[in-house]
Structure 1
Amino acid sequence: MSPVLFPRGFTRDYLDGKIKRSALTSKIVSSFSSISKKSDLTIVEGTGHTGVGSIVDLNNAQVASLLNCPVILVASGGLGSSFDELSLNRTQCEKHGVKVAGVILNRVLEDKRSMIQEYMTKALKRWNIPLLGCIPFDSLLSQPTMKDFQQLFQVELLAGPEYCLRHFEHIRLVASSPETYRTFTTPSQLIITPADREDIILATLTRYWDLKIAHPEDNVEIGVLLTGKNPPKQALIDQIRKAHIPMLYAPVSSFAALKMINSYTAKIRLEDTAKVQEAIKIVEDYIDFDSLLEMLN
């Protein structure tokens, strides 16, 4: 989608004069013009803050200026720290003559949303910039899927590919005894355990079939991430496949896997209809499109 890509060594080549800014701006303008001719409204997404891209003289504010596009600043839900971030981003826009059409706060905690909306509106009045939306935190949009984990660990599912878009509310690293593990098993849970912990894997399968027998119409929404140097035995893989439990194996330690997951940001995929519909609903409910269109016009 981006007309300009930054492969390895791109920045050094630009600074060495091997890549000209004029060639980059030409690609950007040409692509924007081509898309705009076919659309009533064109949205250009800027990655990160307004200063991203400065090393090649094409940061987000500069691109907005080049395309004569007003900017909507999106900040994390908060008050003081969010306003500080907005101030830094607004400075770049002012420097390059870009109009800031409004601000949207994202992932705002519900119990603070009314307060933040009231006081951020007051703070933005000094810049004569409207608060266009105050979007509450939505847990579903932050929940990773097995497909996210495939991408994160660069591996394929060993079982349950039909549930690659299953979401998980809970992620649990299991290093306890099977007895303790069974006591705290909950729905919508990803289990992380070493591939050689056959006792945990078999306990998971036993729990799955117990629930399935008791409630055959219910979908037991669990997933398994196996870790460690040694891959799981084929016999265990076959049993998990029979249960249609989505499972993958990552050749890293459980601790490293959990650390990677905690630093990973789940994206909304086009094929993930549950997240797409949730995102559409929350945007429609919490963004003032009338004010947005008024500012753009």
Structure 2
Amino acid sequence: MTRKIFIAATGQNSGKTTTSLSLMHLAGKKYGRVGFIKPLGPKPVDFNGLQVDKDAALMAGVFGLEGDIQYMSPVVLHPGSTKKILDGEIRREMLLEKILQATAKLEKNCDFLVIEGSGHSGVGSVIGMSNARLAGLLGAPVMIICGGGIGNAVDSVSINLALFRQEGVPVKLVLANKLIPEKREASIRYLRLAFAGADFKVDGGFNYSPILANPTLSRISKILGQPLQGDLKEATRIVHHVQLGAASAQRVADLLEESSLLLVNSTRDELLVMLSSLYNFPEYRRLIAGMVIPGLAPVSKITKKILDDSNIPYIRIEAANSQVFSSIKDDVSKITVEDREKITMIRSLAETELDFEAIDALL
């Protein structure tokens, strides 16, 4: 009989996908056949000619599950899908049947199945397909991922527990993610005290990691909708700091931090030239991840040639500095199959920060 677990969360950006990647990796070391399904996918992407949820595409790419992709994302919501379901143009029963059939197919072929929900327990309720209802429909015990605080974590977990209990779904584990390392033990202890007597286990997940939280140059290129130019081999480099190149050239150089992305207006020729030159010195290469060059005015021809000759990674966008800065800062970095450094790190951290045997014993 297939062992399975439904990964839920108290909200977005809690580390659900990171946890799913980790469980897939750890389960693969114990079980011969491990599978993944995102029953209800709210974020469609193209994968080998099929429209699937981005998380299913990620798992297929990382774990070589391309042959199962049609089952890994049975229902994908597109703009307008919700209204069509409510209007009866798309039958809810047909969608639920697709999810059941896909899950049954994967259960037949897998020893361990990771089922990833979408957001909090109530997501999907508008079409009668909440995470809580789907977990119950699929007969899967639940792991709830929450943030690493105390009060907010307890409040949000309690709200989500109510809907799972209403659907009669067993919650087996609450996993606190993005813990501050020096507060990890204390945070877990207080969460356990807050949930003392509950019929589920409370444990710690991943510590907060800037590497996992911060975007790559490739991700920033996608955020801004403009191509990365220069050294494309640096596309997977992780940006740890975003700095506005508004001060004098010397001051900007003095303020450089590890793996900084600099926003330099297209009219700041002297700064663009200086950073292009510094990029080729080893002591500055580690500090300068690349540049974003906003501004409506064109970059001068001679500056553009210096930029290109230096091979510094850069993104050119015709927009205001403030708009570009906000777009980057407001984005929460998501893992893609190209983020090899992050994926390798997740696999490594999973070995020490997650107790798979304890999780498996709860199922």
User: TM (normalized to structure 1)?
Assistant: 0.92
What's the CA shift string for 1:174-208, capped at 9, x where partnerless?
A: 11122322222334110012122112101212322
Matching residue within 241, 253, 258 for 2:320 = 253
Say if 2:236 and 2:340, in contact at 8 Å, map to a contact too.
no
Cα RMSD (Å): 1.9
- Counterpart amino acid of residue 91 in structure 1: A
Structure 2 equivalent of residue 48 of structure 1: 119
Report the alpha carbon displacement of residue 244 of structure 1 after superposing the two structures with TM.
2.2
Structure 2 equivalent of residue 154 of structure 1: 225
Report the alpha carbon displacement of residue 151 of structure 1 after superposing the two structures with TM.
1.1
Say yes or no: does 1:262 pair with 2:329.
Answer: yes
Say if 2:143 and 2:171, in contact at 8 Å, map to a contact too.
yes
Q: List runs of 5+ in structure 2 lacking aligned partners.
A: 1-55, 57-72
Q: 1:92 to 1:295 in 2, by over 3 A?
A: same
Matching residue within 249, 272, 282 for 1:178 = 249
Say if 1:133 and 1:288, in contact at 8 Å, map to a contact too.
no
Say if 1:132 and 1:289, in contact at 8 Å, map to a contact too.
no
Q: List runs of 5+ in structure 1 lacking aligned partners.
A: none
Aligned residues: 292
What's the CA shift string for 1:7-30, capped at 9, x where partnerless?
A: 111111122121211011011112
Matching residue within 128, 134, 137 for 1:66 = 137
Structure 2 equivalent of residue 28 of structure 1: 99
Say if 1:65 and 1:98, in contact at 8 Å, map to a contact too.
yes
The CA distance in 2 between the partners of 1:187 and 1:113, in whole Å, is: 26
Structure 1 equivalent of residue 345 of structure 2: 278
Say if 2:260 and 2:290, in contact at 8 Å, map to a contact too.
yes
Q: 1:133 to 1:233 in 2, by over 3 A?
A: same
The CA distance in 2 between the partners of 1:220 and 1:269, in whole Å, is: 24
Say if 2:172 and 2:199, in contact at 8 Å, map to a contact too.
no
Report the alpha carbon displacement of residue 221 of structure 1 after superposing the two structures with TM.
4.4
User: TM (normalized to structure 2)?
Assistant: 0.76
Larger Rg belongs to:
1
Q: 1:187 to 1:111 in 2, by over 3 A?
A: closer
Say if 2:236 and 2:341, in contact at 8 Å, map to a contact too.
no
What's the CA shift string for 1:82-133, capped at 9, x where partnerless?
A: 0110011111110111111101111111122111111112222332210232
Report the alpha carbon displacement of residue 240 of structure 1 after superposing the two structures with TM.
2.3
Which piece of structure 1 moves more, 90-99 or 286-295?
A: 286-295
Say if 1:194 and 1:226, in contact at 8 Å, map to a contact too.
yes
What secondary structure, in the 3-state scheme, does the structure 1 residue paired with 2:264 have? strand
Work out the percentage of aligned pairs sharing the same amino acid: 25
Say if 1:228 and 1:251, in contact at 8 Å, map to a contact too.
yes
Say if 2:256 and 2:288, in contact at 8 Å, map to a contact too.
no
What secondary structure, in the 3-state scheme, does the structure 2 residue paired with 1:73 have? strand
Which piece of structure 1 moves more, 88-97 or 179-188?
A: 179-188
Structure 1 equivalent of residue 355 of structure 2: 288
Structure 2 equivalent of residue 100 of structure 1: 171
Structure 2 equivalent of residue 196 of structure 1: 267
The CA distance in 2 between the partners of 1:97 and 1:234, in whole Å, is: 67
Matching residue within 236, 250, 266 for 2:303 = 236
Report the alpha carbon displacement of residue 33 of structure 1 after superposing the two structures with TM.
1.8
Say if 2:277 and 2:310, in contact at 8 Å, map to a contact too.
no
Say if 2:188 and 2:203, in contact at 8 Å, map to a contact too.
no
